[in-house]
Chains A and B, each alone.
Chain A
Amino acid sequence: MTPLDSMPLTPGFADPVADAQSCFRALLEAMARPGRVQRLAALPEAPAPLSPAAAAALLTMADAETPVWTDAGPAAEAWLRFHAGCPLVARPGEAAFLLASGPMPPLAALAAGTEEEPHRSATLVLQVAALEEEEAWRLSGPGIENSHPLRVEGLPDSFLPDWAANATRFPRGVDLVLCAGPRLVALPRTTRIEEAG
């Protein structure tokens, strides 16, 4: 018996149907209105280092049809395998969903879809230190009336140039879900980011 088998598995959604629905609506709202912070009402008990929002997003979107990549370690992998039933892959480029709790995987290495099928692209769920609707970035693009403020703590310095490079490939590209605790923000590939001030 390996140590993994003896580790207790924490629960997923308490009410799987209703919780997945409410979490999906938060994700849909987040994707439709980039930069607006959504607070998830129903959260699973995810093992460390998974943040509750990131774990809920994966439970809502991933299943046996979606290869998932994660760097969150064996406890998180076992939890995802059991509750989402998703295959886990070793190479980020092969995943439909990525759950990064440590360093951000390079956007250029992820599946970006093709010109004809841009929807066959990865969604990166990235855990960050903090998310606030404060004027550090000014977001614009579809879903935003004029501009929207956002401050994210815990992103690498190279994020803004990488994000700009992601946008140049449109309609190909990677979509991003940033998670901190029970809160999340989505940045679809169409969102433009400017530094405020």
Chain B
Amino acid sequence: MTALGYNFGYLDENTKRMIRRALLKAVAIPGHQVPFGAREMPLPYGWGTGGIAVTASVIGTGDRLKVIDQGADDTTNAVSIRRFFAKVAGVATTESTAEATIIQTRHRIPETRLREGQILVYQVPMPEPLFRLEPRVAETRRMHALADYGLMHVKLYEDIARHGHVAISYNYPVLVGGRYLMSPSPIPAFDNPKMDRMPALQLFGAGREKRIYAVPPYTSVRSLDFEDHPFQPVRADAPCALCGSRESYLDEVLTDDQGGRMFVCSDTDYCNTRQTHREAAE
């Protein structure tokens, strides 16, 4: 049952059609940022309005929606957005990565490998990967047109010269389909390899910056690097304190003011599933 007084999915049909046209062009030109008209949402910019606009334009009654915030299903942002769509679209929601058909995410890619038939919707604060290097939008558009990404390579080189390694731990720039430089949104660099040739469709929505972009399934997504300094995803060198995983991305949690700390999986569904399996085995 959807909320009375709202169109299905909250947005009006004209807006959905405009976003749908932008999505189709975004898929046709992998990694290229397509402008769209971001509508006012019942939550402020910075809370995932771009992702919500994309999800609202894509979602149907048959979908099952999962929303994660930094990997967690149970944080305020994730719970609010899940409830929002349960209310305005009447869709089923889930916390299980495997069961979801649409996964809206803030800053993580689930640990469970995504499959065909799933759509991953990223909330993007800043879609322009070059914005710290070149503040003029007109100039960055020109650079994308010419595939002139030397500036980013210089930045990576300077990092290596200064620190001995590329000092970017999240929002690590990627080259999509061998053509467009793209911001993967602030996911940890650890998640970057999951984007490469992913069987699921990846859609990106930036509400404040009013840009949509996409990576079709099975498309090459390469993290920028150098032959003598290959890209290396970073992960805390510890097992998860709850499920024992040595593969998953970890959050560091302070437990007291005496320097106590523990590492736990950032992906709550992955961690809970592993704990349940372990208990069942015991």
Contacts and interface: CB of A to CB of B under 8 A. Distances in A.
Interface string A103-135: 000000000001111110101000000000000
Contacts of B26: 119
A142 B58 contact: no
A121 B254 CA distance: 52
B18 A188 contact: no
A28 B177 contact: no
A142 B215 CA distance: 8
B256 to A, nearest CB: 48
A146 to B, nearest CB: 8
Interface residues of B, number: 43
Given A17-B13, A61-B20, A142-B177, A28 B60 contact: no
A33 B119 CA distance: 13
Given A18-B8, A33-B217, A116-B142, A189 B29 contact: yes
Contact of B25 (A16, A33, A121): A121
Interface in A170-188: 170-171, 175, 188
A119 B179 contact: no
B60 A31 contact: no
Nearest to B146: A115
B17 interface: yes
B14 interface: yes
A175 B25 contact: yes
B177 A190 contact: yes
Interface string B30-42: 1010100000000
A61 B217 contact: no
B218 A142 contact: yes
Given A61-B17, A65-B18, A171-B179, A25 B60 contact: yes
A27 B26 CA distance: 13
A117 B26 CA distance: 11
B27 interface: yes
A90 interface: no
A108 to B, nearest CB: 18
Interface residues of A, number: 37
Contacts of B218: 142-145
B13 A28 contact: no
A190 B20 contact: no
Contacts of B57: 24
Interface in B1-56: 7-9, 13-14, 16-18, 20-30, 32, 34
Given A142-B218, A142-B219, A143-B218, A31 B24 contact: yes
A21 interface: yes
Contacts of A190: 28-30, 177
Nearest to A121: B25
A77 interface: no
B153 interface: no
B186 interface: no
A175 B8 contact: no
Nearest to A96: B21
What are the 7 closest A-B residue pairs judged by CB atoms, nearest first? A188-B28, A115-B145, A119-B25, A143-B216, A142-B219, A142-B216, A116-B145
26 contacts: A17-B8, A21-B9, A24-B57, A27-B24, A28-B201, A29-B201, A32-B217, A33-B217, A60-B17, A61-B24, A63-B17, A65-B18, A116-B141, A116-B142, A116-B145, A118-B32, A119-B32, A121-B25, A142-B216, A143-B27, A171-B32, A171-B179, A175-B24, A175-B25, A175-B28, A188-B28
Given A33-B116, A170-B179, 14 more contacts: A24-B20, A25-B58, A28-B24, A28-B201, A32-B27, A33-B217, A60-B17, A61-B20, A115-B145, A115-B146, A119-B34, A142-B218, A143-B217, A188-B29
